Structure 1
Amino acid sequence: MRLFLAAALLALPTALRAAPISFDEALRLAEIRAPELRAREASVDAATSAAIAADRLPDPKLDLAIKDLPVTGPDAGRFNRDDFTMQVIGISQEFINPAKRRARALRAHADIDVAEAEQAVAAQDIRLATALAWIDLHYAKRRLKELDLLDGELDDLQATVSARLASGAARPAQALEPEQLRAQLADRRSALTADIARYRAQLTRFTGDTAADTTGDLPPLAVDGDALRAGLAALPLLRAYDARTLAADAETGLARADKRPDWTVNAAYGRREPNFGDLVTVGVTIDLPLFAKKRQDPRIAARASEATRARLDREAAEREVAAALSADLAMHRMHDEQLANARTRLVPLAKQRAQLDLESFGARRLDLGTALLSTLALAEAEVDALAREGEVARDAVRIIFTYGEARR
């Protein structure tokens, strides 16, 4: 069904898919259209199909032979002239010992678990990358809008300067100062425009929309550190390590099963010269694992060591994830405090200073350059506050999608 929906969406005309998308819609499109996820689905299908035949017996074998044909003497190269030559047809079936078949089945199901775990990890990575691309584009557009608002304020300031020039209250060089500020804003605008193009390309990369754009606001993102720590064991990354550990245990069981013999049952019918009777042969062939100390036991020890390594790798991964979560939570708290400082202190102070300087300029108590610098500082404070807000949102998304519930 998911592949069908993906094909249907990809078949839509580009014009129908060019509308801006919300945060949740971007995640949904990435989940449907990302080729990495479809590749992982194919891996799960392959492992599931392979598991069907994992514990089955081998195919029977048909034996066709001519036995005891003379190659010297008076009957050389001639059939049915003595009582030895036979035309034989037979069939044989190999029977794998039940322990080995069970071990192969466990190994095949472990492969399915590994494929599903890798699929979950890939899905988590795609959703995280899509969410971050959406947030980066959303906040870059908002920062650009702030610069546009400042550009509009400069028009009013330019009119004030022109009036003062006409009255002779300002120096001619002061008429250039608003334009210099516009040139500085143009540099900032160029950088933001490039960022927007880069973030839009990232969003297109995951959603498949050639004209990807954002709409709406970011959904509320609550970060609960205690709940995240309690649920670390269920992370796709750690589940992948668990699946690899089960696969290593299955390999160990398969190596142990090699110490139990397999056997083959065979039957054959031999047709001789009509003067002599036909023959029937029935037999059993049994493996003899007599030298286990130098054959099976070393392989068992090797597989057991690999299983131990898998468990230790899983423990190391869990410790690393726990440490990374603590570090990310600390960074998130820091960015949240910086955002609060910008909203409650830096921006209001910059706004108050810019207003006072403009009033002083209007009252001819301050030069235009200082007033413009205060206006630029206000714009930078507001843009910086948006950047901090975007950083807090990125932290929250990265933490929730990495350590918490990845599917919204």
Structure 2
Amino acid sequence: MNHAVSIKVVLCSVVLFSTAVNAQNNLNTEILKQTSNEQTLSLTQALNYALTHEPWLKASGYQEDAAIAQSIAAGTLPYPVLTVGLLNLPTNGYAFDQEGMTQLKVDLSQKFSRGNSLALRQKALAQSAQQYPWQRADRLAQVKAIVIESWLNAYRAQRSIALIEQDKGLFTQLIDITEASYASTLGKTRQQDIIRAQLELTRLEDKLVMLEQQFESAKNRLAQWLPMNMLMQPLNTEFTKTAGLVDFASLEFDELIQLLMAHPAIIAIDKTVTAKQTEVALAKQSYKPQMGVNVGYGYRDDTPMGESRADLLSVGFSIDLPLFTDNRQDQQVKSAIASAEATKTQKLVALQKLKGMYFKEFSQLARLQKRDALYQNTLLPQMSEQSQATLNAYTRDDGDFSDVMRARIGELNAKIDALNIQVDQHIITARLNYYASSLDPQVMSEQTGELHNEY
């Protein structure tokens, strides 16, 4: 029995020592690889590239240019109309000088807008064009949150794989110890211990495959913004932690509403509301008459006897009478008012949605912070102590190998859970930052006239 205990003590000591050395060597090798020839994809690189190469922004810029061009065109009077005609030509001889009423007439006419409709139409289109810079800011905020979340999910999977790979060698060597102990028939090792150990190792292999799938899925999510040469790079093992744009824990409700009211998505709707209100004023101009002027000059030839005939000048003024407004002007104004009210309602709905999503994310962050403190201060140390205690008991031939495996697996799972909690905190902080994007200089660079490529 003492001989069996000695074998277990020596072998387990070798396992622990070799595992620690291998883990340190793997860490050093990974660091050396990243600092030598192999390039890695950092969160900052992914974020800056995605924000500066987002094609949606270019399309939005073209839409803004189109709206501005339309507003300029809308502020222009209609072209004057030039009319040239031959009037009162006698049909019994078609002679231009036969009759005194025969003339070659040139008319020039010009229509004017109803009331102030020309300026109001131009103003409405120009106000509508102001929504596009704010829509681009909202798009940048969305892309930033998505890229951070996707990168962190890939980092989560990559780091989890590294943790499993570190412990995988230990489990393999523990199986070797168990098989040696079982073959020696000196200890309490049973065949079911060997089967249980092999089963746990198979489960680890399955978990590695699942994590590799999650890693590829998260990186492929970034393919919408990043080129393939960047996606092929391994992720950096370190990243800049996501900091809140404000202290969300101390944010009062009134401050939150002010923050959401300044959100780019809400400001974009505000610009649309302003344009719709101008369209209401434009629709009311339809009650006013439209006026026009025309000037004509008629040239007459001399008489057949050579006597001179005077040319004719005509000046006219036209005005339409907007009568019977029930089915036209009244309905146009009613339509414009309803459209403006619908846009105001859309703003309220968007604000309520932002508020609801904010509270959902904030409540999750508070719970994750409590769990993180519990894991770091209590659970991880306890899992480590339990793992060491079961191993010590097993080396004294006073414990079961299944307890050792369960303790080691439990400690590994706890480390992965702790990693998930920390990553989820950063993801939710990035989501919360979306709701405070009006304070983000990287998102509001177009509004401030500056470009920020820092994170």
Correspondent of 1:135 among 152, 165, 183:
152
What is the DSSP-based 3-state SS (H/G/I as helix, E as strand, rest coil) of the residue aligned with 1:231? helix
Contact 2:83/2:106 (8 A) holds in 1: yes
Following the alignment from structure 2 to structure 1, what is the Cα–Cα distance between the partners of residues 204 and 97? 105
Correspondent of 1:214 among 224, 235, 246:
235
How far 1:36 sits from its partner (Å)?
1.4
What per-residue deviation string (whole Å, max 9, x for no partner) do you get for residues 364-404 of structure 1?
22222231122111111111111111111111110112334
1:9-408 map, 5 Å: 19-70=39-90, 74-75=92-93, 81-97=98-114, 99-165=116-182, 167-169=184-186, 170-171=189-190, 174-212=193-231, 213-215=234-236, 216-222=238-244, 224-225=247-248, 226=251, 228-275=256-303, 276-404=309-437, 405-408=439-442
What per-residue deviation string (whole Å, max 9, x for no partner) do you get for residues 50-83 of structure 1?
222231212222223333345xx524x6655433
What per-residue deviation string (whole Å, max 9, x for no partner) do you get for residues 241-284 of structure 1?
21121121011011012222232222233334443443333222
The range that moved more, 270-279 or 243-252, is 270-279
Contact 1:30/1:208 (8 A) holds in 2: no
Change (3 A) 1:59 1:333: same
Following the alignment from structure 2 to structure 1, what is the Cα–Cα distance between the partners of residues 73 and 118? 10
AA matched with 1:32: T
Change (3 A) 1:25 1:134: same
Following the alignment from structure 1 to structure 2, what is the Cα–Cα distance between the partners of residues 251 and 214? 52
Contact 1:128/1:402 (8 A) holds in 2: no
| Pair member with larger Rg | 2
Following the alignment from structure 2 to structure 1, what is the Cα–Cα distance between the partners of residues 130 and 337? 20
Percentage of identical aligned residues: 21
AA matched with 1:395: I
AA matched with 1:308: E
How far 1:285 sits from its partner (Å)?
2.0
Following the alignment from structure 2 to structure 1, what is the Cα–Cα distance between the partners of residues 343 and 192? 73
Aligned length: 388
AA matched with 1:224: D
Following the alignment from structure 2 to structure 1, what is the Cα–Cα distance between the partners of residues 221 and 60? 21
Contact 1:31/1:37 (8 A) holds in 2: no
Q: Name stretches of at least 5 consecutive residues in structure 2 with no aligned partner.
A: 1-37, 304-308, 443-455
Change (3 A) 1:318 1:290: same
Contact 2:242/2:430 (8 A) holds in 1: no
- The list of structure 1 runs, each at least 4 consecutive aligned residues, that deviate by more than 6 angstroms after superposition, is none
What is the DSSP-based 3-state SS (H/G/I as helix, E as strand, rest coil) of the residue aligned with 2:130? helix
Following the alignment from structure 1 to structure 2, what is the Cα–Cα distance between the partners of residues 177 and 298? 80
Following the alignment from structure 1 to structure 2, what is the Cα–Cα distance between the partners of residues 143 and 229? 39
TM-score by length of 2: 0.78
Q: Name stretches of at least 5 consecutive residues in structure 1 with no aligned partner.
A: 1-17
AA matched with 2:283: A
C-alpha root-mean-square deviation of aligned residues, in Å? 2.5
The range that moved more, 364-373 or 179-188, is 364-373
Contact 1:141/1:196 (8 A) holds in 2: yes
Contact 1:21/1:214 (8 A) holds in 2: yes
